Structure 1
Amino acid sequence: MDWLKTPGVRALGVVLFAILTAVGAQVSLPMVPVPMTLQSLAVVLAGGVLGPRGGVAAMGLYLAAAAVGLPVLSDGRGGMAALTGPTAGYLVGFVLAAWASGEAGRRGWLRRPLPGIVILSAAHLSILLPGAAWLALDIGWTAAMSGGFTPFLAGAVVKSSAAWLILTAAIRRG
């Protein structure tokens, strides 16, 4: 994807992936205590397409938009209270996952299906683990694991598989 090396195109990619993450937040299954969204798919795609720095920049822009109060988080939330509330650990995990998927892509580790899907699933874990850990401060470890970690594992594998297919198609075209 040599076309992404142009600074203007990279900057546009950062903005577009921040927007895609916001759109993914609105595709939500209301669950308690954490909604299930398509955000993490956008997050790992951001890293996979833009690389580690670009993916982190996209998530930084997304979090900045949330911080200033734009309704980009799940359920149309925004503002500092949402960024420091019980689900803030997942948002921190977005930055980690974008970096991880970007680094994996940069190193060529996403070229084959099984390793690629496993690595992208691990990137999803870098969202879920800090998310559940932060949530545990509010509701306790057992409740955080049963409500904010375990229900998301199957979806993480499905989204990782979808991300791998999308990234592979993009690499072939690019």
Structure 2
Amino acid sequence: MTQLAHPTLARTLVPRSSLVRDAALVLGGAALVALVAQVEIPLRPVPVTLQTLAVLLVGAALGWKRGFAALAVYLVAGAAGLPVFSGGTGTLLNAEGALRPSLGFLLSYPFAAALVGGLVQRYALDRQPAGAALAMLAASGVIYAFGLTGLGLLTGLRGEALLTAGLTPFLVGDALKIGLAALLLPGAWALVRRR
């Protein structure tokens, strides 16, 4: 198996690893996602939020292990009732007591963060905007695969109706989020190199 040779942004900024530092990075990543989840455009059945922007940035900055852990902590916090999900909710259930239609999207987050983090660590894709965008596009594919599958299972939507509810409203916004994140990461690396 090939080594993940390239350090992440977090590893470069905090080179000494310890349980306390790793826990702080993981909790900070989960808190960032919780914070931006509150920026919401209400849309049914799945709202538009900035969560995916944070998921991509957290995965790329922390790497695959800590990125996965941060998003797992985020999900556990929400499932435990903390108001970390969109709209300040803290449950995997909707108002009617059924599983949220966005559950598949939420469950994808640790895997998407791990994928973008792994690609960054293996190929240093976060150093240039095009590379960062490629890694984030792949991670977005994971989010859509989980999200559309979950949405279809939970709502019974199929075909065009499923794509209209779970894909089409998000494409432009996700392209903008990927573009922004792909510019922020190389910018952050440029600042780190100047230090």
TM-score norm. by structure 1 comes to 0.91
Q: In the alignment, is residue 136 of structure 1 matched against residue 148 of structure 2?
A: no
Match 2:53 to one of 38, 41, 47 = 41
Counterpart position of 2:135: 119
Partner of 2:183: 165
C-alpha separation between the residues in 2 aligned to 1:39 and 1:104? 20
Q: How does 1:149-164 map to 2 (within 5 A)?
A: 149-164=167-182
Mapping of residues 94-109 of structure 1, within 5 Å? 94-107=109-122, 108-109=124-125
Q: Give the gaps of 5 or more residues in structure 2.
A: 1-8
Report the structure number with the largest CA radius of gyration: 2
Q: Match of 2:90, SS?
A: coil
Larger deviation, residues 156-165 vs 76-85? 76-85
2-structure distance, mates of 1:50, 1:110: 12
Deviation at 1:112, TM superposition (A): 2.6
Mapped partners of 1:80, 1:147: distance in 2: 19
2:40 equivalent to 1:23? no
| Offset, 1:146 | 0.6
Question: Structure 1 residue aligned with 2:108, among 93, 111, 128?
Answer: 93
Larger helix share, 1 or 2 = 1
Give the AA of the match of 1:122. Answer: A
**2:80 match:** 68
Q: Once the 2 structures are TM-superposed, how far is the Cα of residue 20 of structure 1 from its aligned partner?
A: 0.9
**Given that residues 97 and 123 in structure 1 are in contact (C-alpha distance below 8 angstroms), is that contact kept between their aligned partners in structure 2?**
yes
Contact residue 133 and residue 144 of structure 1 kept, 8 A: no
Q: Is the 8 A contact 2:39 2:50 kept in 1?
A: yes
Rounded Cα–Cα distance in structure 2 between residues aligned with 1:143 and 1:88: 18
Q: Take 1:100 and 1:21, find their aligned partners in 2: how far apart are those partners?
A: 17
CA RMSD of superposed structures (Å): 1.8
Q: What TM-score, normalized to structure 2?
A: 0.82
Q: Does structure 2 conserve the Cα–Cα contact (< 8 Å) formed by 1:48 and 1:98?
A: yes
Helix, strand or coil at the partner of 1:81: coil
Once residues 190 and 133 of structure 2 are traced to their aligned partners in structure 1, the CA distance between those partners, rounded to angstroms, is 17
Q: Secondary structure at the match of 1:26?
A: coil
Unaligned 5+ residue runs, structure 1?
Answer: none
Aligned-residue identity in percent: 36
Paired residues of 1:47 and 1:55 also in contact (CA < 8 A): yes
The runs of at least 4 consecutive aligned structure 1 residues that moved more than 3 Å come to none
